[in-house]
Amino acid sequence: MSDDSHTLTQVESKDFIREKIERDLESGKYNGRVVTRFPPEPNGYLHIGHSKSICLNFGLAKQYGGRCHLRFDDTNPTTEDPEFVESIQADIRWLGFDWGEHLYFASDYFEQLYGFAEDLIRAGKAYVCGLNEAEVREYRGTISEPGRPSPNRDASVEENLDLFRRMRAGEFKDGQYTLRAKIDMAHPNMKLRDPPIYRIRHAHHYRTGDKWCIYPLYDFTHGLSDAIEGVTHSICTLEFENNRPLYDWFVQSVDALPEGAGHNPEQTEFARLNITYMVMSKRKFLRLVNEKHVAGWDDPRMPTVAGLRRRGYTPEAIRAFAERVGVAKNNSLVDIELLEHTLREDLNQRSPRVMCVLRPLKLILSNFEQVVGEREELEAPYYPPDVGRPGSRKLPLTRELWIEADDFAEEPPPKWHRLAPGASVRLRYGYVITCDFPVVDESGKLVEVVARLHTQEEAAKMKVKGTIHWVSAEDAIDCEVRLYDRLFSVPEPDALEEGVDFITTLNPKSLEVLKGCKLEPAAAKEGLSRVQFERQGFFFADPDATPDALVFNRTVSLKDSWAKQTQPKQAAPERRRAQPKAVQVAQPRKPIELDQAAQMLVMVHGITPHEANVVSGDDRLGKLLAAVDGLDGDVKAVTRWLVNDVASFLKNHEGEPPFGAAELIELVELQAAGTLSSRLAKDVFAELCKTDESPRAIVERLGGGQIDDEAQLTEVIRKVLAGNPDHVKRYREGNHNLIGAFVGQVMRATGGKANPKLVNEILRRELNAN
Ligand code: ATP
Ligand code: MG
């Protein structure tokens, strides 16, 4: 079976990075060259966030006929390790990208970078500073206050050169001196207040050994390494936005460009990828690994590329996901369901269906000899008709079978379509059977179930609703199955409240190991490594396995709540049909295509599928959303207005609305600032629909926003508390959820005009007073 004969639906889109590159190509800025780079620090394994950057950088190079360098940004001797250099290369190759001969190490530039630093000193643009770390911080000032100059700021070039050379020669202790760029101690961007360029670190480097005891810092190294390599488009994540002027300052202050490069490299930032139920930082992975919460960097629960690979993700699925998420300027959190949906779409096409019983229960077919004889070999296709790939296997049917323990119920709940005494089901690919009775041991424990086969003629007359999977007991191959689930039990383990350790949000049920599972023989004989266990999910052979001891990891279950969320409305009644939880079966089904327009919105703006569906239903909403993003507004907050109030207004309103993106942004800003409670915000919105005033003007006209008067609010709050002695008592006994009820009452008492932030503060103070 070949694995690559299909592609996932790709969405063509032109993002702001591609637009910039095309402008540069048009203007001839880099003589038509496109050179990007992926610059990992070898201090950990790559994660799925990195793969977004990899797909982007290598993808751009490919799309525009350029090249992408792999450069290890290895300037920190104490955290780096050759193990990581190896794993990073393996992971990028596995993802399907190739840097050709363009493998670089920042540490290879140490001599050259050192020369640039001396050049800066000679140009009076750098000096050796004797302040220690704490003093440097103190001298730097604050956002509202300028910094103070280092006492060494005006030392002569000779003095500086001498000290810098002695730093290199190892005459000083760690931290005794730094080399700093001489830029502007009063600059509003704090990054430009004479940032350090070199620090002393007597440490062994995995590549340069003990040759150096001074190491260049990121901002200096990064831009200059780009320039040395002739990189044109240096693409990084948003947190480096404030570093961009520094990047430019270094490449402009030093003559580092290779012959013919034409123009300095330019940095462009895009949003980091974050996914719900995942953490996305090497520091946190290190803790998970070192504290043994997971089995290692490649534990299949880790969002590392190595972990995803071992779990059974395919490079195609990860690439398609990166594509779908797209490149945006607003940081957003992508729903893990989108990742899993994309994965299922891919696995659906490439995973032969086989049967495996995870929690086996013996089924005896009492009339087997009469109906079948000794045994029968059923022919079963590997793929369902809608996948349309060839291939089939033989399924031995024998007198004794394994079935899934929870496909049998002695006392079935209502609407049970599986096996129970007297009930009939179809065996997948085979006969209809009727259960006669369960067999229990002395202690009353169920040991097996006895059933009867029906002939084709009998079956034709029967109404059978359920189908169950099974494996011949005589032919089954034992295997171990590892059921993986989300590693964290909260949607945003990366954004917890101050003081909450992310480790406390680990999902205790993220792994369940089942031994003695029963696999159909063909799957074992053919050594299939990537399969769908029918009705269970997609599975992948773990490298721990041997031919005698098979191990399968659950890559992802079959249930696709993402597809469900984006399904057209008609499907709703079907889903709502009451069915007790315990009897819900995940039936294999075809993943549903996301509506393209809605999908784009999710990818581009990071809004939820539900919101995307609403927005994509009305062009005017889509235009407003795009404009809000373009103006750098709070997309999430505005979207809430778009899908509720704005959508219902537009339903009864033809043509363009009397307000635009700027007004909506202002509205949510007033809300965020606490000027408008949500009640008042609604009033302001109602006015927005009638006039062409701005929200601020409306607030002023309506007589100001909130009640901000602390004494006045305290009085109201005391009255509310006095009127609810029971609630107050319960709050003080620890039921802090009640705070919401109190806030609600205060808001009502003030006609929605109280400043909610202040109400919260005063409430807590009053409630904690006794
Ligand atoms: P972490 O914070 O996880 O330790 P990092 O940014 O320190 O990651 P690097 O090795 O420095 O890791 O990153 C290499 C490249 O990958 C950088 O260009 C960085 O911007 C990019 N990158 C890192 N994390 C993400 C992410 N979550 N989404 C997109 N790109 C990322
Ligand atoms: Mg980093």
Q: How far is the CA of 111 from the centre of ligand 1 (A)?
A: 26
The answer, yes or no, to whether residue 579 has pLDDT greater than 70, is no
Between 612 and 72, the more confident residue is: 72
What mean pLDDT do residues 501-510 have? 95
Q: With bands split at pLDDT 50, 70 and 90, how would you rate the model's confidence at 633?
A: confident
169-206 confidence digits (pLDDT tens):
999 999 999 999 999 999 999 999 999 999 999 999 99
State percent of the chain over pLDDT 70: 93
Q: Which ligand is nearest to the CA of 49?
A: 1
Q: Are strands 214-216 and 196-200 parallel, antiparallel or unpaired?
A: antiparallel
In terms of Cα–Cα distance, which of 80, 94, 5 is closest to 51?
Answer: 94
Q: What is the pLDDT of residue 704?
A: 61
Residue nearest to atom 27 of ligand 1 (CA): 49
**Burial level of 5, CB count in 10 A (0-12/13-18/19+)?**
exposed
d(CA 91, CA 397): 43
450: amino acid identity, one letter = V
Q: With bands split at pLDDT 50, 70 and 90, how would you rate the model's confidence at 474?
A: very high
Catalytic residue among 272, 287, 428, 730: 272
Q: How far is the CA of 503 from the centre of ligand 1 (A)?
A: 21
User: Bridge-partner residues for 495, per DSSP?
Assistant: none
Q: How far is the CA of 149 from the centre of ligand 2 (A)?
A: 29
Query: What DSSP assignment string belongs to 258-326?
Result: PTT--S--EEEEEPPEEETT----HHHHHHHHHTTSSSSTT-TTS-BHHHHHHHT--HHHHHHHHHHH-
Catalytic residue among 140, 180, 193, 282: 282
Listed in sequence order, the residues at least 6 apart from 390 whose beta carbon sits closer than 8 Å to its beta carbon are 382, 383
Alpha helices in 508-570 (DSSP H): 521-525, 561-565
Tell me the three state secondary structure of residue 161.
Answer: helix
Is 52 close to ligand 1, i.e. is its CB under 6 Å away? yes
What mean pLDDT do residues 663-672 have? 89
Q: Are strands 424-427 and 467-468 parallel, antiparallel or unpaired?
A: parallel
d(CA 207, CA 510): 38
Q: How far is the CA of 327 from the centre of ligand 1 (A)?
A: 15
Sign of CA dihedral 242, 106, 326, 557: negative
Is 131 close to ligand 1, i.e. is its CB under 6 Å away? no
Is 238 close to ligand 1, i.e. is its CB under 6 Å away? no
Which numbered atom of ligand 1 lies nearest the CA of 54? 16
Cβ–Cβ < 8 Å for 717, 686: no
- Three-state helix/strand/coil letters over 558-584: CCCHHHHHCCCHHHHHHHHCCCCHHHC
Q: How far is the CA of 168 from the centre of ligand 2 (A)?
A: 25
Quick check: is 690 catalytic? no
Q: What is the pLDDT of residue 568?
A: 46
d(CA 689, CA 509): 50
Residue nearest to atom 2 of ligand 1 (CA): 281
Of 51, 53, 321, the residue with max ligand 1 atoms within 8 A of its CB, to mutate for a pocket test, comes to 53
Is 282 close to ligand 1, i.e. is its CB under 6 Å away? yes
Kindly report the average pLDDT of the chain as a whole number: 90
The answer, yes or no, to whether residue 433 has pLDDT greater than 80, is yes
Residue nearest to atom 29 of ligand 1 (CA): 272
Q: How far is the CA of 50 from the centre of ligand 1 (A)?
A: 5
- Among 278-287, 587-596, 673-682, 752-761, the range scoring the smallest mean pLDDT is 587-596
Rg, the chain, Cα only: 32
Listed in sequence order, the residues at least 6 apart from 63 whose beta carbon sits closer than 8 Å to its beta carbon are 18
Which numbered atom of ligand 1 lies nearest the CA of 42? 10
Cβ–Cβ < 8 Å for 644, 668: no
Which numbered atom of ligand 1 lies nearest the CA of 52? 29
Is 50 close to ligand 1, i.e. is its CB under 6 Å away? yes
Q: With bands split at pLDDT 50, 70 and 90, how would you rate the model's confidence at 4?
A: very low
Q: How far is the CA of 325 from the centre of ligand 2 (A)?
A: 22
Q: With bands split at pLDDT 50, 70 and 90, how would you rate the model's confidence at 626?
A: confident
Tell me the three state secondary structure of residue 357.
Answer: strand
317-351 confidence digits (pLDDT tens):
999 999 999 888 877 789 999 999 999 999 999 99
228-274 confidence digits (pLDDT tens):
999 999 999 999 999 999 999 999 999 899 988 889 999 999 999 99
Tell me the three state secondary structure of residue 240.
Answer: helix
Q: How far is the CA of 80 from the centre of ligand 2 (A)?
A: 12
Q: What is the pLDDT of residue 328?
A: 84
Is 537 close to ligand 1, i.e. is its CB under 6 Å away? no
Is 51 close to ligand 1, i.e. is its CB under 6 Å away? no
Q: Which ligand is nearest to the CA of 53?
A: 1
- Among 209-213, 392-396, 449-453, 595-599, the range scoring the smallest mean pLDDT is 595-599
Is 331 close to ligand 1, i.e. is its CB under 6 Å away? no
Residue nearest to atom 3 of ligand 1 (CA): 281
Catalytic residue among 18, 20, 29, 41: 41
Q: Which ligand is nearest to the CA of 50?
A: 1
Q: What is the pLDDT of residue 702?
A: 74
Is 40 close to ligand 1, i.e. is its CB under 6 Å away? yes
Residue nearest to atom 21 of ligand 1 (CA): 50
Q: Which ligand is nearest to the CA of 54?
A: 1
Cβ–Cβ < 8 Å for 383, 391: yes
Q: What is the pLDDT of residue 564?
A: 53
Q: How far is the CA of 78 from the centre of ligand 2 (A)?
A: 14
Q: What is the pLDDT of residue 770?
A: 63
| Residue reference for tokens 């006039």 | 691
Cβ–Cβ < 8 Å for 285, 304: yes
39-60 confidence digits (pLDDT tens):
999 999 999 999 999 999 999 9
Residue nearest to atom 4 of ligand 1 (CA): 282
Cβ–Cβ < 8 Å for 342, 8: yes
Q: With bands split at pLDDT 50, 70 and 90, how would you rate the model's confidence at 1?
A: very low
Q: How far is the CA of 218 from the centre of ligand 2 (A)?
A: 9
Q: With bands split at pLDDT 50, 70 and 90, how would you rate the model's confidence at 566?
A: low
- C-alpha triplet 545, 550, 553: angle, nearest 5°: 80
- Three-state helix/strand/coil letters over 243-264: HHHHHHHHHHHCCCCCCCCCCC
Is 53 close to ligand 1, i.e. is its CB under 6 Å away? yes
Q: How far is the CA of 196 from the centre of ligand 2 (A)?
A: 17
Q: What is the pLDDT of residue 330?
A: 79
Of 17, 237, 327, the residue with max ligand 1 atoms within 8 A of its CB, to mutate for a pocket test, comes to 237
Is 237 close to ligand 1, i.e. is its CB under 6 Å away? yes
Quick check: is 589 catalytic? no
Is 280 close to ligand 1, i.e. is its CB under 6 Å away? yes
What mean pLDDT do residues 757-770 have? 85
Is 592 close to ligand 1, i.e. is its CB under 6 Å away? no
Of 50, 221, 235, the residue with max ligand 1 atoms within 8 A of its CB, to mutate for a pocket test, comes to 50
Cβ–Cβ < 8 Å for 641, 667: yes
The answer, yes or no, to whether residue 573 has pLDDT greater than 60, is no
Between 740 and 656, the more confident residue is: 656
In terms of Cα–Cα distance, which of 679, 625, 676, 670 is closest to 647?
Answer: 625
d(CA 267, CA 404): 56
Residue nearest to atom 18 of ligand 1 (CA): 236
Residue nearest to atom 9 of ligand 1 (CA): 40
Residue nearest to atom 8 of ligand 1 (CA): 281
d(CA 97, CA 119): 37
pTM greater than 0.85 (yes/no): no
**Phi and psi based region of residue 256 (left: phi greater than 0; alpha: psi -120 to 50; beta: remaining):** alpha
Maximum distance among all Cα pairs of the chain, rounded to whole angstroms: 104
What are the contacts of 607-611 at 24+ separation with CB within 8 A? 607/635, 607/636, 607/639, 608/335, 608/565, 609/335, 609/562, 609/565, 609/566, 610/565, 610/643, 611/639, 611/640, 611/642, 611/643
Q: With bands split at pLDDT 50, 70 and 90, how would you rate the model's confidence at 655?
A: confident
The answer, yes or no, to whether residue 423 has pLDDT greater than 80, is yes
Is 49 close to ligand 1, i.e. is its CB under 6 Å away? yes
Q: With bands split at pLDDT 50, 70 and 90, how would you rate the model's confidence at 168?
A: very high
Q: What is the pLDDT of residue 703?
A: 65
What mean pLDDT do residues 19-33 have? 94
Quick check: is 41 catalytic? yes
Is 454 close to ligand 1, i.e. is its CB under 6 Å away? no
Is 272 close to ligand 1, i.e. is its CB under 6 Å away? yes
d(CA 754, CA 668): 17
The answer, yes or no, to whether residue 560 has pLDDT greater than 80, is no
Q: Which ligand is nearest to the CA of 92?
A: 1
Q: How far is the CA of 53 from the centre of ligand 2 (A)?
A: 13
- Three-state helix/strand/coil letters over 32-83: CCCEEEECCCCCCCCEHHHHHHHHHHHHHHHHCCCEEEEEECCCCCCCCCHH
Which numbered atom of ligand 1 lies nearest the CA of 280? 3
Residue 449 sits at φ, ψ, to 5 deg, of: -125, 135
Q: How far is the CA of 520 from the centre of ligand 2 (A)?
A: 47
